[in-house]
Structure 1
Amino acid sequence: MKKIDEIELFFKGYKFPDEPIELNKATVIRNPTIFIASHLDMLRGNNSRKIKKPYWDRLEQFYNKLKSEI
């Protein structure tokens, strides 16, 4: 959970651009605040690892993309 806490802390005061953020050709984030909140809720819930994996992968990809642009 340490990495999840690190990601959450990174996004707390982050100023998102007004335009959508493209992670890949199939994934465009139009509302980053809702995207992050829903993914964190899913990851912290009592779901199986199999269900959590896609949420973790997308959230981590989003985090890495924005962190690399700083």
Structure 2
Amino acid sequence: MTKNNQQQKEKQKQKHTELLGKNITDTELAQELGRLQQQLRIASTTKWPSSARFSIESIKAADSAI
């Protein structure tokens, strides 16, 4: 691995640590991504009542109010 690649990898790892609050292994990250994908698949096939649906505009409005 070149020094530039190593520095870039270290910088990316530091960014991930800042976002996640801790060091995480590749395996842990893969497990978490798999879990999230499974939840998304379940959510996308679930028939939600119309009252549970949100428009992009309502989400943006709520987000900007925070």
- TM-score using structure 1 length: 0.30
Q: Which has the higher contact order (CA 8 A, sep 6+)?
A: 1
Between Structure 1 and Structure 2, the one with more helix by share is 2
Structure 1 or 2, whichever has the larger Rg, is: 2
Between Structure 1 and Structure 2, the one with more strand by share is 1
